[in-house]
Amino acid sequence: MDPHLLTTFVTVARHGSFSAAAAELGYTQSAISQQIAALESDLGLPLLRRRPVEPTPAGRRLLEHAGPLLLRLRAARADVLRAAAPARHLLRLAATPLALSAEVAGRLARARAAEPRLEVRLRTCRPGQAAALVAEGHADLGLTDGIVAPSDPLRLPPDTGPMTATGVAEQDLVVALPADHPLTGRTGVRLADLVDARWLDTPLCPLARLRDLAGEGFPAGLAYDGDDVHTVLNLVAAGHGLIVLPARALTPPVMPISVVPVPVTAPRLVHRVELLHATLPPGPAADVAAALTG
């Protein structure tokens, strides 16, 4: 169960090919073949069926473990290095598009004003990624968002080691409707009234999460594998499907006039933003974290 072999195994499984994995990892096919053989002989079990290459039941089981395990290993390494690294005047912030709202951006600006020497480097990421980026030390602070019942914490991927998550903001939800939608005039809608409408499936608001919270249904009209809010709103305006967003993401000048927000009245849900960080050494990063949560 050498992590090296585990990495090779997940890469092979992902590609469904020894040669493709070899290319990605910078080995020859032969080396990959030997590594997989070594792992299989270590466990005493076949992990992959060949031609076509696909995991056996035992292999599938191992795949479920390997990802979190390797993540935890990288996180541990990053944590040790971080604890020993000297304080820098660079803050690397990873944020999901909907987490960095105008309000949160404002708080960040105020925190920077108190810390003029601080350089901030922002990158956007998917909701599922923020925790891993922070855990692996690629970001000092993370801002994720998600939809939950009021005051509930976000459900973060486990096994990323010691990490602090603090609520930063909560706001109500709206459904973005095209201007010509029949429900446009309403002062509020229940999600249940829209189970049969067509929806956009995007990382910004995955339909799977919506179904978790509001029951089955919510068929996907269009899947958009990107996280640009502007694009999403144009898709809504064009009638490709509906989407649930935090209320203040749908105020001018962001909102095109052909999209109308209608508050979600039931179930009682909110859009929540949380700040993620590992144990921070005293310094600018910790100050900004305090300012964002304070």
Partner DNA sequence: TCGTCTTACGAGAAGCGTAAGAATT
Partner DNA sequence: AATTCTTACGCTTCTCGTAAGACGA
Contact residues for DNA, defined by CB under 7 A: 2, 4, 17-19, 26-31, 33-38, 50-53
Asked whether 190 and 290 are in contact (CB, 8 A), the reply is no
Residues ≥6 apart with Cβ < 8 Å to 74 = 135, 136
Judged by beta carbon distances under 5 to 8 A according to partner kind, the member of a second copy, DNA, none in contact with residue 35 is: DNA
77 touching a second copy, by CB under 8 A: yes
- CB of 209 within 8 A of CB of 190? no
| 62 belongs to the binding site for a second copy (CB under 8 A) | yes
Contacts for 194 with CB less than 8 Å, ≥ 6 apart: 175, 183, 218, 242
- Site for a second copy contains 76 (CB under 8 A): yes
Q: Is 73 in the site for a second copy (CB under 8 A)?
A: yes
Q: Of all residues in the chain, what percent are helix, strand and coil, respectively (each to 5)?
A: 40, 25, 35
Which of 12, 36, 48, 66 binds a second copy (CB under 8 A)? It is 66
Per CB under 8 A, the list member of 37, 83, 90, 290 interacting with a second copy is 83
Nearer to a second copy, 83 or 102 (CB): 83
Residues 128 to 187 in contact with a second copy, rule: CB under 8 A = 158-159, 161-162
For residues 133 and 139, is the Cβ–Cβ distance under 8 A? Answer: yes
Q: Is 3 in the site for a second copy (CB under 8 A)?
A: yes
**Angle of CA points 14, 20, 24, to nearest 5°:** 85
Return the number of the residue (57 or 215) whose C-beta is nearest a second copy: 57
Identify which of residues 53 and 69 has a Cβ nearer to a second copy in the complex. Answer: 69
Minimal distance, residue 30 CB to DNA, in Å: 3
| DSSP-derived 3-state class of residue 109 | helix
By CB under 8 A, name the one of 31, 43, 100, 122 that touches a second copy: 43
Under the binding rule (CB under 8 A), the answer on residue 1 touching a second copy is: yes
280 closest CA partner among 128, 148, 124, 166: 166
Q: Which is nearer to a second copy, 131 or 245 (CB)?
A: 131
- State yes or no: residue 49 binds a second copy (CB under 8 A): no
Centre a 10 Å sphere on the Cβ of residue 90 and count the other Cβ atoms it contains.
12
Q: Which helix (H) or strand (E) holds 43?
A: helix 29-43
Closest to DNA by CB, 40 vs 79, is: 40
